[in-house]
Chain A
Amino acid sequence: MTNHWIDLKNADVILAMGSNPASNHPVSMKWIMRAREKGAKLICVDPRFTQTAAKADLYAPLRSGTDIAFLGGMIKYILDNNLFFKEYVVNYTNASYLVSLDYQGPADLDGLFSGYNLETKKYDKKSWTFQKDENGLALKDPTLQDPNCVFQLLKKHYDRYTVEQVVDITGTPKDKLLAVYEIFGSTGKPDRAGTECYAMGWTQHTVGTQNIRTMTIIQQLLGNMGIAGGGINALRGEANVQGSTDQGLLFHILPGYNPTPNASLVDLATYIDKTTPTTKEPRSVNWWSNRNKYITSYLKAIYGEAATKENDFGYSWLPKTDVGQNASWLMIFDKMLKGDFDGFFAWGQNPACSGANSNKTREAMTKLKWLVNVNLFDNETGSFWRSPGMDPKNIQTEVFMLPCCSSMEKEGSISNSGRWAQWRYKAVEPIGQSKPDAEIINELFFKVKELYKKEGGAYPDPIVNLSWEYGERDAAGKVKHIDIHAVAKEINGYFLEDVYDMKVTPPKLIGKKGDLVTSFPSLQADGSTSSGNWIYCNSYILKDGKEVNMMARRGKDDPTGLGLYPGWSWAWPVNRRIIYNRASVDPQGKPWDEKRPLLKWNPTKLAAATGKPGVWEGDIPDGPAPPMGTEGKFPFIMKPDGVASIFGPGLAEGPFPEHYEALECPVEVNAMSGQRINPTIKIFGDKMDVFASCDLRFPFVGTTYRVSEHWQTGCMTRHCSWLLEMQPQNFVEMGFELGKELSLTNGETVIVSSARGEVKAVAMISERFKPFKISNTTVHQVGLPWHFGWQFPEDGSGYDSANLLTPNVGDANTMIPESKAFMVNVRKA
Chain B
Amino acid sequence: MGVSRRDFLKLSGGTVLVASLGVNLDPAKAYARELRIKNAKQTTTICPYCSVGCGIVVYAENGKIINTEGDPDHPINEGTLCSKGSSVSQLVNNDNRVQKPMYREPGGTAWKEVEWDWALDRIARLVKDSRDKSFKTVSKAKVKETQPDGSVIEVEKDFVVNRTDAIAHIGSAALDNEECFILQKLVRSWGLVHVEHQARI
Which residue on chain A has the smallest CB distance to residue B160?
A316
B58 contacts A408, C-beta separation under 8 Å: yes
In the assembled complex, B15 has its CB within 8 A of some CB on chain A: no
Within 8 Å by CB of A242, from B51, B96, B126, B167, lies B51
Which residue on chain A has the smallest CB distance to residue B191?
A319
A370 contacts B126, C-beta separation under 8 Å: yes
In the assembled complex, B25 has its CB within 8 A of some CB on chain A: no
In the assembled complex, A444 has its CB within 8 A of some CB on chain B: yes
Q: Chain B's nearest CB lies how many Å from the CB of A731?
A: 17
B127 contacts A30, C-beta separation under 8 Å: no
In the assembled complex, A730 has its CB within 8 A of some CB on chain B: no
A816 contacts B201, C-beta separation under 8 Å: yes
Q: Chain B's nearest CB lies how many Å from the CB of A552?
A: 9
Q: Which of B153-192 contact A (CB under 8 A)?
A: 159-192
Compute how far the CA of A554 lies from the CA of B194 in the bound complex, rounded to whole angstroms: 39
Residues in chain A near residue B161, CB distance under 8 A: 263, 319-322
Residues in chain A near residue B52, CB distance under 8 A: 5, 25-28, 416-417
Q: Chain A's nearest CB lies how many Å from the CB of B105?
A: 6
Q: If the complex has contacts A247-B181, A463-B190, are A25 and B51 also in contact, measured as CB distance less than 8 A? A: yes
Interface size class on chain A is: 35 or more
Q: Which of A361-396 contact B (CB under 8 A)?
A: 369-370, 372, 374-378, 382-383, 385-386, 392-396
Compute how far the CA of A311 lies from the CA of B53 in the bound complex, rounded to whole angstroms: 42
Residues in chain A near residue B27, CB distance under 8 A: none
B48 contacts A431, C-beta separation under 8 Å: no
Within 8 Å by CB of A443, from B120, B127, B162, B174, lies B120
Residues in chain A near residue B164, CB distance under 8 A: 319
- Contacts across chains A and B counted by CB atoms under 8 Å: 487
Which residue on chain A has the smallest CB distance to residue B87?
A722
Compute how far the CA of A40 lies from the CA of B108 in the bound complex, rounded to whole angstroms: 60
Q: Chain A's nearest CB lies how many Å from the CB of B48?
A: 5
Which residue on chain B has the smallest CB distance to residue A452?
B128
In the assembled complex, A428 has its CB within 8 A of some CB on chain B: yes
Compute how far the CA of A736 lies from the CA of B64 in the bound complex, rounded to whole angstroms: 49
A238 contacts B51, C-beta separation under 8 Å: yes
Residues in chain B near residue A321, CB distance under 8 A: 161, 163, 193
A556 contacts B73, C-beta separation under 8 Å: yes
A437 contacts B83, C-beta separation under 8 Å: no
Which residue on chain B has the smallest CB distance to residue A565?
B75
Q: Which of A232-282 contact B (CB under 8 A)?
A: 235-251, 254-255, 260, 263-264, 266
Q: Chain A's nearest CB lies how many Å from the CB of B50?
A: 5
Which residue on chain B has the smallest CB distance to residue A568?
B75
In the assembled complex, A533 has its CB within 8 A of some CB on chain B: yes
Which residue on chain B has the smallest CB distance to residue A711?
B49
Compute how far the CA of A255 lies from the CA of B106 in the bound complex, rounded to whole angstroms: 37
Within 8 Å by CB of B83, from A250, A556, A723, lies A723
In the assembled complex, A407 has its CB within 8 A of some CB on chain B: yes
Residues in chain A near residue B167, CB distance under 8 A: 341-345
Q: Chain B's nearest CB lies how many Å from the CB of A414?
A: 6
In the assembled complex, B19 has its CB within 8 A of some CB on chain A: no
Which residue on chain B has the smallest CB distance to residue A482?
B182
Query: 7 smallest A-B Cβ distances: which pairs?
Result: A432-B99, A416-B53, A348-B172, A412-B176, A347-B171, A263-B159, A458-B135
A-B contact pairs, 30 of them (CB 8 A): A5-B76, A27-B52, A241-B199, A250-B199, A317-B189, A322-B139, A341-B194, A342-B129, A342-B167, A349-B197, A377-B98, A398-B106, A407-B45, A417-B52, A421-B177, A424-B46, A424-B176, A428-B92, A441-B186, A448-B124, A448-B190, A455-B128, A459-B135, A459-B137, A459-B162, A556-B75, A710-B84, A720-B91, A723-B83, A723-B84
Interfacial residues, chain B to chain A (CB-CB below 8 A): 1-3, 41, 43-55, 58, 60, 63-65, 73, 75-78, 80-85, 87-88, 90-92, 94, 96-109, 111, 116, 119-132, 134-135, 137, 139, 141, 143, 159-201
